[in-house]
Amino acid sequence: MNETGLDRPPADPFELFSQWYADARAHERHELTAMTLATADSKGRPAARIVLLKHFDQDGFIFYTNLGSRKSADFAANPQAALLFWLPVLERQIRIEGSVVRVSDSEADAYFAGRPRGSQLGAWASLQSTPLDSRATMEQRLAEFEKEYAGRDVPRPPYWGGWRLRPDHFEFWHEREARLHDRVTYALDQEGWRHARLYP
Ligand SMILES: Cc1cc2nc3c(=O)[nH]c(=O)nc-3n(C[C@H](O)[C@H](O)[C@H](O)COP(=O)(O)O)c2cc1C
């Protein structure tokens, strides 16, 4: 294996992702947690935004958000999405595509319970992606929830939860000399993961 693993790609793309995740932790200023999430609505109109990767394993990549947000509405109409990681210092890119499913309520509850109290109350106060007439209105909502939950644990709002992207496609890209970059894709079929190399 060379330093990226792309000269002899492993059979399992999660193995390669884990290696690059560890490389990012070792070399980048930040961990590999901020990722671009691309969705599309029922008419095929795309939208992209950053979300934070909170967990990954063979079952997929998990992020948390408001269930009334635009991204969540997109998933209701079209439960497919793409994730993009850019590792500028390492000159690498990872593209992931797949279908999305809701994280179970018990898993979301467990994650929410471990968040800082301020973030928990913020989740109640924010009606993400819906119009807000002024910041004061949101601060008022926050004050109301602070009062409501004073002296007790803050439960997860019913409109806040997690999504799991189950990949069926990966692409690992590494910058090389003279624009002859390395690109290795993985596609999932009934036999399992198959990898292939693409021209850059
Ligand atoms: C670094 C960074 C991290 C973010 N993490 C999250 C996140 O984990 N969950 C989330 O809902 N929004 C997160 N956001 C905000 C989203 O980019 C976006 O503004 C919000 O989710 C509304 O998107 P939507 O209307 O397309 O659903 C983050 C933004 C940035 C810049």
- Give Cβ neighbours of residue 195 (< 8 Å, ≥ 6 apart): 9, 11, 13, 184, 185, 186, 187
H-helix or E-strand containing 85? strand 80-87
> What's the confidence (pLDDT) of residue 31?
76
Q: For the segment 117-176, what is each residue's pLDDT rounded down to a tens digit?
A: 999 999 999 999 999 999 999 999 999 999 999 999 999 999 999 999 999 999 999 999
2 falls within a domain:
no
- Where does 92-159 show beta strands of DSSP type E? 92-102
CA nearest ligand 1 atom 29, residue = 50
Q: Please give the C-alpha separations between residue 134 and each of 66, 74, 130, 138, 148, in angstroms, as whole numbers.
A: 20, 26, 12, 7, 22
For 146-168, the three-class secondary structure string (H helix, E strand, C coil) is HHHCCCCCCCCCCCEEEEEEEEE
**Cα–chain center distance at 79:** 14
Q: Is residue 8 part of a domain?
A: no
CA distance 43 to 79: 13
Q: Is pLDDT of 197 > 60?
A: yes
Q: What is the residue whose two structure tokens read 């999405």?
A: 81
What is the extent of the structural domain holding 168?
13-197
Identify whether 4 is part of a domain. no
| Residue 151 is assigned to a structural domain of this protein | yes
Q: How confident is the model at residue 3 (pLDDT cuts 50, 70, 90)?
A: confident
DSSP state of 178: G
Distance in angstroms (rounded) separating the CA atoms of residues 60 and 168: 10
Tell me what the pLDDT averaged over the chain comes to. Answer: 95
In a domain, 3, yes or no: no
Mutate to test the pocket of ligand 1, among 33, 39, 41, 49 (most ligand atoms within 8 A of CB): 49
Ligand 1 neighbours by CB, cut-off 6 Å: 34, 47, 49-52, 63-66, 69-71, 128-129
Report the alpha-carbon distance of residue 50 to residue 85 in Å, rounded: 10
pLDDT for the residue numbered 120: 97
CA gap 195, 188 in Å, rounded: 9
pLDDT of residue 30: 72
- Could you give the 3-state DSSP secondary structure of residue 111? helix
Instruction: Compute the distance from residue 63 Cα to the ligand 1 centre, in Å.
Output: 10
Residue 6 inside a domain? The answer is no
Residue 176 in any domain: the answer is: yes
- Average pLDDT value for residue range 39-44: 97
Domain membership flag for residue 104 = yes
The CATH code of the domain that includes 42 is: 2.30.110.10
Positions marked catalytic:
179
For position 1, what pLDDT does the model report?
A: 40
The total of structural domains in the chain comes to 1
Using the mean position of ligand 1's atoms as its centre, give its distance from the Cα of residue 50 in Å: 5
How much is the pLDDT for 179? 87
